[in-house]
């Protein structure tokens, strides 16, 4: 699970910062976008693995560096990072009012 988690966190960092850059009003700043993206990447990758089928099979596929498992980790991590960053940005904006 180590490589899979690293891929998800990196994808989450990218997704979180992309979401912050794309939605200026919801940005948490570079550090905030990065932290939210990393956490969201890990959670999003976990959720994507659960929805994608057997978690043990996905973990075994990552050990063999199966391209489908890598793409699943990148997609889940990136989307999870972007979504969590956007949610936290909306909460920050609502609290500031």
Q: Residue 37 pLDDT more than 70?
A: yes
At residue 1, the pLDDT reads 60
What is the distance between the alpha carbons of residues 63 and 74, in angstroms, rounded to a whole number? 15
Where exactly are the structural domains of the chain? 29-38+50-92
Instruction: Please check whether residue 70 is in contact with residue 12, taking contact to mean a CB–CB distance below 8 angstroms.
Output: no
> Confidence band (pLDDT; 50, 70, 90) for 59?
very low
pTM for the model: 0.79
Give the model's confidence band at 58: pLDDT under 50 very low, under 70 low, under 90 confident, else very high.
very low
């Amino acid at each position: 699970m180590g490589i899979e988690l690293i891929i998800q966190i990196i994808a989450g960092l990218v997704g979180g910062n992309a979401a912050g850059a794309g939605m200026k009003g919801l940005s948490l700043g570079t550090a905030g976008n990065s932290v939210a993206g990393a956490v969201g990447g890990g959670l999003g990758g976990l959720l994507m693995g659960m929805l994608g089928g057997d978690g043990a099979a996905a973990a075994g596929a990552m050990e063999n560096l199966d391209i489908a498992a890598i793409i699943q980790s990148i997609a889940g991590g990136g989307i999870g990072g972007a979504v969590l960053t956007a949610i936290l940005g909306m909460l920050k904006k609502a609290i500031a009012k």
